[in-house]
Structure 1
Amino acid sequence: MKEAAVTVAGIQMEPVFGETEKNVARTIALMEEAASKGAELVVLPELCNTGYVFQSRKEARDLAEEIPAGPTTSAWIGAAKRLNLHVVAGITEKDGVKLYNSAVVIGPDGLIGRYRKVHLWGDEALYFTPGDLGFPVYDTPLGRIGCHICYDCWFPESFRLAALQGAEIMCVPTNWVPIPGQDPNREAMANIIVMGAAHSNSLFVVAADRVGTERGQPFIGQSLIVAQTGWPVAGPASADKEEILIAEINLADARRKRNWNDFNQVLRDRRRDVYDEMLGSAHLPGWH
């Protein structure tokens, strides 16, 4: 018997810029399909309700919504309740005068929390405020869920701080773009990075990417679900097609199988006499 068996889904899709209503309807249709295949936790791409390539702050503001009052979060909350799902999805968030590249964490009973992207990529810095919530980890009936968004994964501290708070699975809405120097005969660098982070922190990772080209910007797909060992259990998906990845995982393995041998356990072996226990993050609201 698996102590903490969970069926997870990574949804790879192609939002259409600015067509929020259609995009949200598409996300819900894909959530329904994933639920019909047994999914209990579904992860959707970054900014999947609006699209990604903004051309002005006004454009971003016009498409942004409040959480949870906005129509996108409301629609996802309704779908999660109807389908008995947990959902992590990327959304363009408005909070007063500030805009954030955010993700909502939703369960069958409503909004659980939100994550705001800490490390902004490229032109995102022209429109969004860097995340101010740290790296919150949420207790859910399925397990302890943390979030990153895309470029956050390039910072080892991001995964480590979530792991130190007891995260068992990291949900990553993402919009991966081509990386200079990528070997076309190798897996995407983004895949390697999340695989390494899963391995070095004993965490499961569900990374849901988008596909297509938006305003001249191509996206690379290749979503995947990674076990705490660092090896994929579903995917990588294709580079150019909408797909749903499904895997049954046992979140207890993130804790039970953290010991690599009689001597070594990656979180226990940290040299806290050499570097700070919390990597200087104690002041952040996301630290517990």
Structure 2
Amino acid sequence: MKVQREPFKLACIQFEPVIGRVEDNLRAMEKHTRDACAAGATVVVLPELADSGYVFADKQELASLAQPIPEGRSARVLIELAQELGIYIVSGLAEKEGDAFYNSAIFCGPDGYIGRFRKLHLWDMENPIFDPGDLGLPVFDTAIGKIGLAICYDGWFPELFRSLALAGAELVCIPTNWVPMPAQPEGTEAMSNTLHRAAAHSNGLFIACADRVGVERGQPFIGQSLIIGPKGWALAGPASRDREETLIAEIDLSQIPTSRVLNENNNIIGDRRPDVYGDPIIGK
């Protein structure tokens, strides 16, 4: 696809979904997205499971809230919104397909539905109720560049970012519901931010993480959404730990090739030694 190599604005929306209140959540998602678009955003990233909430009582509750992608109500709202506004939207959604349930992300744009990603690495009590993702690591070739997706705990696996980079991804959008990490000292930078900054630097990628805030059924979420450039430094954020807010940063994907050059003798991708450690297997 022919890519328009112009810088664009990306927004990460940090808000507080409410468990089980899909219509209320969709209204909040739409409002925040419209506000971000009015501020100039071409790409909007929303949190993980933004339509349903996160802490399900059991699989039966999940089944009552999950919907198909792209046919379901939540997906259709976002697809139509992206078309109306002429922007790209990435959002976490609870997905149902047959008897299976996935922690998924939808990707849609000015021309409608583009694709979806299903979370590969399930966290804690997601394991009894969700099925592991089975769509691999797609990289979507769009008019603004090559976009990869991941969700929350997927970001703890360096192989994921390397696989996406080798498949041509320039920007990775990550809906997330980060929770406190055990034994993290009070007041220190979130481990999630450290991991994603390292992944951006070591792969020469833009990475956009949209987290949620609040406490849901006793589970606190840590906020601190972040937009990172390909050198590993924050372009916007970290956001607050407990407030709804929207981060906006300018993304220039034409920087990717030069960002991977550390000096005249070193290239972060070109210096790899797959003869020693092999290459990760890239999913479909």
Shared fold (TM-score, shorter chain, > 0.5): yes
Q: Deviation digits for residues 213-256 of structure 1, max 9, x if unmatched?
A: 00000000000100001000100000000000001121111223
Shift of 1:55: 1.2
Tell me how far 1:134 sits from its aligned partner: 1.0
SS at match of 1:126: coil
Output the amino acid matched with 2:121: H
| Per-residue CA distance 1:260-285 (angstroms, 9 max, x = gap) | 111111111111111223x2x25x32
Residue 233 of structure 1 is matched in structure 2 by 235
Superposed, which structure 2 residues align to 1:147-186 within 5 Å?
A: 147-186=149-188
Q: How many angstroms apart in 2 are the aligned matches of 1:66 and 1:218? A: 28
Conserved 8 A contact 2:5-2:144: no
1:108 maps to which of 107, 110, 120 = 110
Letter of the 1:134 counterpart: G
Q: Which amino acid aligns with 1:275?
A: Y
2:245 matched to which residue of 1? 243
1:255 aligns with 2:257: yes
SS, match of residue 194 in structure 1: helix
Amino acid aligned to 1:219: F
Matched with 2:125 is 123
Q: Of residues 200, 203, 210 in structure 2, which corresponds to 1:201?
A: 203
Write the mapping of 1:57-68 to structure 2, written as runs, cut at 5 A.
57-68=59-70
Question: Counterparts of 1:207-226 in structure 2 under 5 Å?
Answer: 207-226=209-228
AA of the residue aligned to 1:196: A
Q: Which amino acid aligns with 1:158?
A: L
The CA RMSD measured in Å over matched residues stands at 1.1
2-structure distance, mates of 1:255, 1:42: 24
Aligned to 1:91: 93
Identity among equivalent pairs (%): 51
Output the TM-score relative to the length of structure 1.
0.96
| More displaced 10-residue stretch of structure 1: 260-269 or 16-25 | 260-269
Question: Could you say what secondary structure the match of 2:261 adopts?
Answer: coil
Q: Deviations over 1:89-129 (max 9, x none)?
A: 00000011100000001001111010000000000001111
1:7-26 to structure 2, matched below 5 A, reads 7-26=9-28
CA distance in 1 between partners of 2:271 and 2:63 (Å): 45
* 2:80 corresponds to which of 78, 81, 86: 78
What is the CA-CA distance between 1:20 and the residue it aligns to?
A: 0.2
Structure 1 stretches of 5 or more lacking a match? none
- CA displacement, residues 197-218 of structure 1 (integer Å, 9 cap, x when unaligned): 0000000011000000000000
- TM-score, normalised relative to structure 2: 0.97
Distance 1:169 1:208, change over 3 A: same
- Runs of 4+ displaced beyond 2 Å: none
Specify the SS of the correspondent of 2:274: coil
In structure 1, what is the Cα distance between the partners aligned to 2:183 and 2:252? 36
Residue 45 of structure 1 corresponds to which residue in structure 2? Answer: 47
Task: Figure out how many residues of one structure are paired with residues of the other and give that number.
Answer: 281
2:76 alignment partner AA: S
Cα distance in 2 between the residues matched to 1:37 and 1:14: 21
